Structure formats: C-alpha cells, structure tokens
C-alpha cells in the first residue's frame, strides 16, 4: 500500500495541534524533520517540540535525523514513542550497520537515508539490515524545493536490488513530492512518500493528503 507521510516542517507552528489533527485524520505516518545546522544548512526543531506533540499524534511517527552523531539521540527518540527512526549515511558512514541494529534493539523500525549525490548502490550492503531506506529527492535541509527527477531511477534501482535479494525493506522518498510528481514516485516503487508543502500549503490539507495517496 502506498502511504503518505506529511512533514510538519511545513506546518503552521502557531496552530500545530490543528495541523497534527489533519495528519491524524488523513495521513498514514507523521514525518518529523530534525536538523542540527551541521549536517544540513538549517535548524528545525528538537525534543522540546517532539515531547509536546507526541501525545497528540495517533499515527506512527517517523523521525528523519539530519544531524551529525545521530546515535546520541536514538534512546530519546524511542522514549518519545517514535516508531520509525532514520539517519543519514553521510553522518554515520562505517557505523551505519551498528546504528541500524541499535535502533531496532530499541523497538523502532530502522531507516538509512542518502542525499541525491550519494550513489544509490552505497545502500545495497544494508539491504537485510535496514527496515527502510529514505531516498532524498532534494538536498536535505529545506522544504519547498524542486523534485530531482533522477530520484525515480534511483528508487527503481534500489527496488530491483531489494527484490533480487528477496528482502522486504521499504523505500521512502522525501522532497518536492506534490500532485505533479507523486504518481511517478509511486510507479518507481516508493512505498512511503513524504510531503510537506504539498500538504500544508494546500487550501485543504486533508484533501491534499487523500489526493496524493490516490493520485
């Protein structure tokens, strides 16, 4: 099933509860973009926000850690009730397998993320270890960027390798997904599409989520 994960990076923080209810009613997963200003050139929000919003969320939470030393935060994220936790290969390098195992040992699904300039085959050794792979379809750091079309072939190639190995890892894609790009994302084999501005920038965010899922 093709699932939509609204990203609250694009939500209105003056009425965050209302935007969370939109996700509870229409979304499949809530995507949380945590940025540290080091791994990526932006700072978003951290645990003071996640701690407070967690009790108001009724869909699974998906933390996308755009931070250096992501392993410092796995325990805290698990204690907030997050069910999917991903970190960047660019931050973890040779520790990636260890970090995936640590996330799983905390009872969360473990995801490995790459930016568009990292060859997709760098993920192949982790098939069988990661529960999901997050392919950035923009450079991580900001919402509202334009979808990079080469991301589609990267997803298809990763999907082929997952199938060839008989594994069951999911593929998530993040960045620039809207009504124009979403059907090609789904057709490329993506299981979970993250959408920020296409949801919270819409006049009717709930309808936007449903339209993206059914496109």
Closest-CB residue for Zn ion?
64
Catalytic residue among 28, 36, 80, 174: 174
- For ligand DX5, the binding residue among 27, 111, 175, 205 (CB under 6 A) is 175
Whole-angstrom Cα distance, residue 193 to residue 213?
9
77 or 140, CB closer to ligand DX5? 140
Cα dihedral 23→139→90→131 (10° resolution): 30
33 near ligand DX5, judged by CB under 6 A: yes
Q: Point out the catalytic residue in the list 33, 62, 80, 131.
A: 33
51 tagged catalytic: no
Which residue in 52, 41, 39, 19 sits closest to 195, CA to CA?
Answer: 19
**Contacts to Zn ion by CB under 5 A:** 33, 64, 174
Closest CA to 78 of 63, 96, 99: 63
- Count residues near ligand DX5 (CB under 6 A): 22
Q: Where in 124-153 is the site for ligand DX5 (CB under 6 A)?
A: 138, 140-145
Least distance in angstroms from the C-beta of 165 to ligand DX5:
27
Among 71, 129, 184, 197, binds ligand DX5 (CB under 6 A): 197
State yes or no: residue 90 binds ligand DX5 (CB under 6 A).
no
Nearer to ligand DX5, 141 or 189 (CB): 141
Q: Characterise 202 by phi-psi region: left (phi > 0), alpha (psi -120 to 50), beta (else).
A: beta
174 is catalytic: yes
Q: Is 6 in the site for ligand DX5 (CB under 6 A)?
A: no
Least distance from ligand DX5 to the Cβ atom of residue 145, Å: 6
Q: Which residues carry out catalysis?
A: 33, 174
Positions touching ligand DX5 (CB under 6 A) are 7, 9-10, 31, 33, 64, 138, 140-145, 174-177, 194-198
């Amino acid at each position: 099933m093709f699932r939509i994960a609204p990203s609250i990076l694009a939500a209105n923080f003056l009425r965050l509860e209302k935007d969370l209810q939109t996700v509870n009613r229409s979304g499949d997963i809530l995507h949380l973009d945590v940025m540290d200003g080091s791994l990526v050139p932006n700072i978003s929000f951290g645990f003071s926000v996640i701690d407070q919003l967690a009790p108001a969320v009724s869909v699974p939470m998906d933390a996308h850690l755009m931070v250096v030393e992501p392993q410092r935060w796995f325990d805290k994220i698990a204690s907030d009730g997050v069910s999917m936790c991903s970190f960047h290969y660019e931050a973890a390098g040779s520790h990636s397998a260890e970090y995936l195992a640590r996330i799983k040992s905390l009872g969360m699904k473990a995801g490995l993320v790459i930016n568009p300039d990292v060859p997709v085959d760098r993920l192949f050794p982790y098939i069988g270890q990661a529960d999901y792979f997050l392919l950035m379809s923009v450079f991580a750091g900001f919402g509202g960027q334009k979808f990079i079309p080469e991301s589609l072939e990267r997803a298809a190639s990763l999907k082929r390798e997952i199938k060839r190995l008989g594994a069951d890892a999911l593929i998530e894609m993040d960045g620039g997904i809207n009504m124009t790009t979403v059907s090609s994302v789904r057709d490329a084999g993506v299981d979970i599409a993250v959408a920020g501005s296409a949801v919270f920038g819409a006049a009717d965010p709930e309808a936007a989520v449903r339209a993206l899922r059914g496109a």
